[in-house]
Copies of this chain bind each other. A is one copy, B any other.
Amino acid sequence: MADVAQLASVSSQTVSRVSNGFPGVTEDTRRQVLAAMRELGYRPNSAARALRRGEFRTLGVITFSLSTMGNIRTLEAIATSAAQHGYAVTLLPVAVPTQDEVNGAFSRLGELAVDAVIVIMEIHLLDAATVSLPPGVQVVVADSDAGDRYTVVDTDQAGGARDAVRHLLDLGHDTVWHLAGPEGSFAAQRRANAWRDTLRAAGRVTPPLVRGDWSAESGYRAGLRLADEPDCTAVFTANDQMALGLLRALHERGRRVPDDISVIGFDDIPESASFLPPLTTIHQDFAQVGRLCVEGVLDKMRRDGAEHGTTLVPTRLVRRESTGVRRR
């Protein structure tokens, strides 16, 4: 910066003003400084900047691996949205989903160049987190239900699950089976609860819950079991991957979809339109979730807000060919 100042025959402060686009600089001077910057290949030192300004213009994202498609799409939206607000995004991967790892990530965070944090954590590990964040670091959590302790942005899991079940009931099915996600997952839990509540509200029998682990493979195993249930005519699967495996199992067992069994998924991953048959599913707006996370956390920073709350992003039923009216 000093070199630039010298070359442009101005003070370093003027260089700083130009560099930050501040007013009070003649157009002539500005041009001269910019020319000097170019000539010397000057780049502001962001460490010094951050030190002086007391902020990094960076958001940290803690995420338990990028294994699920939803997390990734959310992350992408966060990165894009953050960039639009002039913020960078630093990744803080938690390799193994253990309490220790989560605590570790939280404490590493303290030393990290980060102004605020977004946590994408579908697992129940947040409750028991023993490490608190450094004061002044705002947090927003995606895909959780810790609304009382944190500010949460999430898809309306319950609403989506309710729509899925109602769709199948409307098609004339007596009841709906549910292939749930793993026990530790908030999202899985809420989708399962909504499924149960909706059936109950409609006065239907609640079949036993079948548990998967989000993977297509687990859907396949569940499908082999469900294919042998004679009165199973409709299945609500907690995500599209498991639906994929389920479809394969049903096909292998000679159960036609949707003629014998209707299947509905959750997420609307791009591939689901190409399943056999194309999958009816609940569309999640991950981009919106990511955007709201960023805006929420930036807003909290500005207002130094301490209050919590939950923002829900609505879902949308995408009707394709895997669901049909009940045949008798």
Interface residue stretch chosen among A106-114, A122-130, A171-179: A106-114
Q: How many whole Å from A252's CB to the nearest CB in chain B?
A: 9
Residues of chain B with a CB closer than 8 A to A112's CB? 46, 88
Which residues from B are CB-within-8-Å of A141?
none
For A220, the chain B residues whose CB sits under 8 A away are 274
Rounded to whole angstroms, the CA-CA distance of A49 and B241 in the bound complex is 45
A47, A79, A217, A273, most chain B CB atoms within 10 A: A47
Q: Are A44 and B135 in contact (CB under 8 A)?
A: no
Q: Complex Cα distance A66/B69, Å?
A: 10
| Residues of A in contact, count (CB < 8 Å) | 52
A95 to B303 alpha-carbon distance, docked (Å): 29
Of B93, B244, B271, the residue contacting A80 (CB under 8 A) is B93
Binary flags per residue of A251-293, CB closer than 8 Å to B gives 1, else 0 = 1000000000000000000110111101000000000000000
Grouping DSSP codes into helix (H, G, I), strand (E, B) and loop, the A interface class, with mixed when no group exceeds half, is: helix
A26 CB within 8 Å of chain B: no
Contacts A90-B89, A113-B50, A248-B276 given: A215-B41 contact, CB under 8 Å?
no
A50 to B58, CA, bound (A): 15
Q: Which residues of chain A have a CB within 8 Å of any CB of chain B?
A: 41, 43-51, 56, 58, 65-66, 72-73, 75-76, 79-80, 83, 88-93, 95, 110-113, 134-135, 215-217, 219-220, 241, 244-245, 247-248, 251, 270-271, 273-276, 278
Query: Which 5 A-B residue pairings sit nearest by Cβ, starting from the closest?
Result: A216-B274, A47-B50, A43-B110, A47-B51, A245-B274
